[in-house]
Amino acid sequence: MNLDFLAVRFTSDASHMIRRGLHGVWMGAMVLAFSTVAWAIPPQLLEPVHRDSLAAIMIDPGTPRQNSEPAYQTLLKLLRKGKEIGLAGKWSQSTQLLMDSLSIWPLVKEFPRVYVLHDLQFGPDELGQIRIKSAAMSIALWTRGKNTSIQQFIQRLLNLYTDESNSTLEKFEVGSGNFHRLVDRRLSRWAVWEWGVVGDWFVFSCGPGGTERVRSALNDPQLRLASVDWFVAGCRRIEAEKANLVAYLNARELQKRTQDASDDRLARMITAMGWEDCERLLWSLNWSARGVSLTSLHDVGGNDRLTHRADPETLSSQYLSAIPAAATWYIPLEYDGATMLRGLGSLGLSVFKPDEQQKILSDWQEMVESQKIDVDTDLLNQLGNHVIVHNHPRHPLGLPMMCTLMIEIKGDSNRVRTTVDRMLNYWSKLLDSRRKNSEVDSIAAPSIRRWDDGIWYVQMGIYGPAVFVTDGWIIFSYSPVAIREILQPAAPEATVTKP
C-alpha cells in the first residue's frame, strides 16, 4: 500500500537505503545550522573539548565582513527603536525573549567557537511523558580577551529576566578564573547557568559539570578529545586541518543515555539515522570556491568507514548548470532522491507519539486507496541520485537555514508533477476540513495552498516550505516568491563567498 514511504520499521534492504538518505539529511542540516563565513580550523579550537564529550562542533568564522550586517539585525534594531519611542506597542515577555535571543548571534558569530554537549539524560515526568532529565552543554568562544560586548549582553539579560524572588546569582572560581552562576527557580533544577573566562576563552555553560569539563580540558591536554587516538587518526583521514567545520559524535554513549527511556521515539530516531551500530562519528566540511565538500568517518564495531558525501570537484557540467549562477555556495550530495524522501518521512514520523503515528499512517493509507496513488512507481522510482542544496535566493532578512533543496528527477517529470499535485491536493482538503470542524487549532495547524503558477506552499505556523516540480528537479525553498526567483532566467554568476 506504499506505506513504506512513512514506515519506521525497515526491511534490511530498505533500511540501508533509508539510512543513507538520512545521513544526507543530517549532513545538510548540520551545514545549514552552522552556516557562516568559515575558514580553516585552527588547532586551538580542539582544546576546550573534553574526551568524554557526547558531541562537539568546531567552527572558525575567519575575518569578519565589513558593512555586511544581515537584514534581520537591522530589523531588530528598528523594532527596538520603535518600541523605545512608543511605535511598536508593548511586547509580551515571550516576544522580548525571542528578540533578545536573536540579538546574541551577531556577538557569537564573530569568534572562533566550539559547541559541546557533555551530557544528556532522559526520563519520564510526573505525567509519564519523556522529558530531558538532565543535560550539560557549553559554548566556548575564543575571544582572546575581547569579552566586553558579551558581558554587557549577559548583564542586559539579567536585568530583564531575573529578580531576587526567583533567581540567585553568585560568584565562584574555576581554577584561576572568576565565574558567575545563575540558579532560577522557574527553570528545571538541572538548568544552572554559568559563565566566565578561562585564559583566552569565554565559556558559557548550562547544566551540571559543563564549565569544569571545559576548564579541565583547557588545562590538561591529556583530558582533551584531541588526545584520543581514534579522534586524532580520524581527523587525519577526513583532512580536518583543511576543513572549515569539524563535528564529532559519540553515538554509542548517546544510545546509552536514551536506552532506558520508556518512550522509544529517541531510540527509533537513532535507528532511523543508522547510528545504532556506530561507536563514533566524525564529519568535516570544506568550502572551495562556491562548492562545499563533505566527508564522514563512521566507527562501526572497530571498522572505520570513510565516505566522501559531497564533492564539487567531481560534479558534472550537467548538474553544475542546474545550480543558479546567483548562488554563492552549494552542496552537491550524491544521494538517491527516493532514499532522501523516505528518510525525511521516516524521521519526521519518528518524533510523534505512537497514537499520533497511527493517525498519520491511517490518513496516508486513506489517501493511497481513495486517490489510487502508487507512490513508489509514480514518484520515488522516477527520482535520480543527486541532491543539491544552495543559497539562492538569499532570504530577505538573512535568516539561517532558509535555503533551497533540489532533488533530481531521472524519469518522467510530468508523472512526478501529477503525483505531487494529487498528493498535496488531498492533504490540503483534509487539513481544511479538520480546521473547519475544529479538530485542530486554526492558527497552529499546518495548511497547504496551491498558487496559480503551480507552486505549492506547505505552511506550518510562520514557516513552511514551498514546492515546485520542474523538468528534471523537485525544488523546495522557503517561500513561493523564492521559487519564482529561482525559475527566472539566469543572472550573471555571483561573486564567490563562503557560507
pLDDT in tens, 405-438: 999 999 999 999 999 999 999 999 998 888 777 6
Same domain for 352 and 212?
A: no
H/E stretch holding 279 reads strand 278-288
For residue 423, what are the domain limits? Answer: 313-486
Instruction: Quote the cell numbers at residue 431.
Output: 487539513
Same domain for 323 and 373?
A: yes
Confidence at residue 41, expressed as pLDDT on a 0 to 100 scale: 75
| Terminal-to-terminal C-alpha distance of the chain | 42
The whole-number average pLDDT for the span 390-400 is: 79
Same domain for 238 and 99?
A: yes
Same domain for 134 and 191?
A: yes
| pLDDT digits 0-9 by tens, 434-454 | 877 765 555 456 789 999 999
In a domain, 493, yes or no: no
pTM score: 0.74
Same domain for 221 and 238?
A: yes
Per-residue pLDDT for 382 more than 50?
A: yes
| pLDDT digits 0-9 by tens, 286-297 | 887 788 889 999
In a domain, 499, yes or no: no
Q: Is the peptide bond before 42 cis (omega within 30 degrees of 0)?
A: no
Confidence at residue 374, expressed as pLDDT on a 0 to 100 scale: 94
Find the range with the poorest average confidence among 170-179, 268-277, 316-325, 338-347.
268-277
Residues of the chain above pLDDT 70, percent:
73
Residues 6+ apart with CB under 8 A from 23: 273, 274, 296, 309, 335
Instruction: Quote the cell numbers at residue 468.
Output: 515546485
* pLDDT confidence tier of residue 469, bands split at 50, 70 and 90: very high
Q: Which of 310, 329, 355 lies at the terminal end of a domain, its last residue?
A: 310
Same domain for 230 and 370?
A: no
For residues 107 and 150, the answer to whether their CB atoms sit within 8 Å is yes
Per-residue pLDDT for 11 more than 50?
A: no
Instruction: Give the chain's domain count.
Output: 2
Same domain for 304 and 330?
A: no
Cα-based distances in Å from 169 to 210, 438, 495:
17, 46, 49
The whole-number average pLDDT for the span 342-366 is: 81
In a domain, 494, yes or no: no
In a domain, 90, yes or no: yes
Round the average pLDDT of the chain to a whole number and report it.
78
Same domain for 281 and 406?
A: no
Same domain for 52 and 93?
A: yes
Q: Which of 278, 310, 342 lies at the terminal end of a domain, its last residue?
A: 310
* pLDDT confidence tier of residue 226, bands split at 50, 70 and 90: very high
Q: Which of 261, 281, 310 lies at the terminal end of a domain, its last residue?
A: 310
Confidence at residue 140, expressed as pLDDT on a 0 to 100 scale: 94
Same domain for 373 and 244?
A: no
The whole-number average pLDDT for the span 80-92 is: 47
Q: 354-371 and 337-350 are packed helices; what angle lies between their axes, rounded to 10 degrees?
A: 140
Name the nearest CA neighbour of 263 among 346, 133, 354.
354
Same domain for 291 and 387?
A: no
Same domain for 298 and 338?
A: no
